[in-house]
Amino acid sequence: MLLEKAPAKINLTLDVLHKRDDGYHEVEMIMTTVDLYDQIQLTELEQDEIVIKSEKRFVPDDRRNLAFQAAEKLKEKFQIKKGVLITIRKQIPVAAGLAGGSSDAAAVLRGLNKLWGLHLSFEQLAEIGTEIGSDVAFCIYGGTALATGRGERIEKLPAPPTCWVILAKPSIGVSTKAVYGKLNTANIVHPHTSDMVSAIKEGNYEKMCKNLGNALEQVTLEMHTEVRQIKNQMLSAGADNVLMSGSGPTVFGLTQKQSRADRIYNSLRGFCEEVYVVRMLGKQISVD
């Protein structure tokens, strides 16, 4: 039996450059993992099958689960005739823009690499992960990175300046596909990705706050008024800046003061059902 943590990610920036001939969008995203985790337990089974268990609603227990696909990929590629029970203790809100499913898949790839003694590098695992979803490569490494291409090309960055991150998810789920479907690439407000990269490299918190930006935010804001209400609420409670993560609907606010983090958290209770105060992890996931 083996336990593997699957951290959530947030987007400090998300830019959409254009739509490619293969149907994917060319993106530029700066992502960082935070200390909100799903716990993945991997248990070997006598029978040659993949079984998914999760007590949370909306988490599929079959091939639709990205964690199932991760195990299946490894079995197919390396002709593994062993079975595995994957138990997912979900903490990361589902369909939230926090890459919960992708992070679970990445954790299964890392975990089964150890359990089945495959000795694959993180680069090899990231390549396999990309066949499952565009965010899985980033989730293999965690930490902070600039992701380009359709999200699978990863350039590692140092840890961002230390701060509190208040995450708030309204009680709606958002489909990434639907948001991209509504995006008009001619009208995008592009974030300044290179300024965010330098803010992180310089350890400049103010510059990081100033350069938060997400090209998908406007689309989701127009679909769901709750997202704007939460943004306004966080700003009036004292967040230094607020942004939607991924395709939403989760919104995060930043502050360096714990008392202000508490105030923002308290101002959202009753207003929003899932609220968390977390830290950026900074460090990448280690190979062992």
Q: Which residues are annotated as a binding site for ATP?
A: 93-103
Q: Which candidate in 15, 38, 104, 135 is catalytic?
A: 135
Q: What residue has token string 């990705």?
A: 193
Q: Which is nearer to ligand ATP, 97 or 161 (CB)?
A: 97
Count the helices and strands in the chain (H runs, E runs): 10, 11
Residue 99 within binding range of ligand ATP, rule CB under 6 A = yes
Q: Considering only 12-20, 101-109, 205-213, 251-259, which stretch makes contact with ligand ATP by CB under 6 A? A: 101-109
Q: Which helix (H) or strand (E) holds 265?
A: helix 258-268
Question: Position 189: which residue type?
Answer: V
Distance separating alpha carbons of residues 33 and 165, to the nearest angstrom:
11
Q: Is 256 near ligand ATP (CB under 6 A)?
A: no
Is 104 among the residues known to form the active site?
Answer: no
Write the secondary structure of 223-261 as one string of H (helix), E (strand) and C (coil).
HCHHHHHHHHHHHHCCCCEEEECCCCCCEEEEECCHHHH
Q: Does 58 bind ligand ATP (CB under 6 A)?
A: yes
Instruction: Look up 135 and say whether it is catalytic.
Output: yes
CB neighbour class for 204 (10 Å; exposed up to 12, middle 13-18, buried from 19): middle
Would you say 66 or 199 has its CB closer to ligand ATP?
66
Nearer to ligand ATP, 33 or 247 (CB): 247
Q: Could you say whether residue 227 binds ligand ATP (CB under 6 A)? A: no
How much of the chain is helix, strand and coil, in % rounded to 5? Answer: 35, 30, 35
Task: Rank residues 116 and 138 by Cβ distance to ligand ATP and give the closer one.
Answer: 138
The residues, any chain, with a CB within 8 Å of residue 194's CB and separated by 6 or more, are none
Q: Are strands 2-19 and 213-214 parallel, antiparallel or unpaired?
A: parallel
**Residues 122-151 vs ligand ATP: string with x where CB under 6 A?**
-------------x----------------
Out of 19, 44, 48, 60, name the contact with ligand ATP by CB under 6 A. Answer: 60
Half-sphere exposure (Cβ direction) of 71: Cα atoms closer than 13 Å: 31
Question: Among all residues, whose Cβ is closest to ligand ATP?
Answer: 101
Window 151-210: residues binding ligand ATP (CB under 6 A): 176
Using the rule CB under 6 A, is 65 a contact of ligand ATP?
A: yes
Q: Cβ(115)–Cβ(122) under 8 Å?
A: no
Contact between 234 and 264 under an 8 Å Cβ cutoff? The reply is: yes
Q: Which is nearer to ligand ATP, 59 or 196 (CB)?
A: 59
If one asks whether residue 64 binds ligand ATP (CB under 6 A), the answer comes out as yes
Catalytic residues: 9, 135
| Contact set with ligand ATP (CB under 6 A) | 58-60, 64-67, 88, 94-102, 104, 135, 176, 246-247
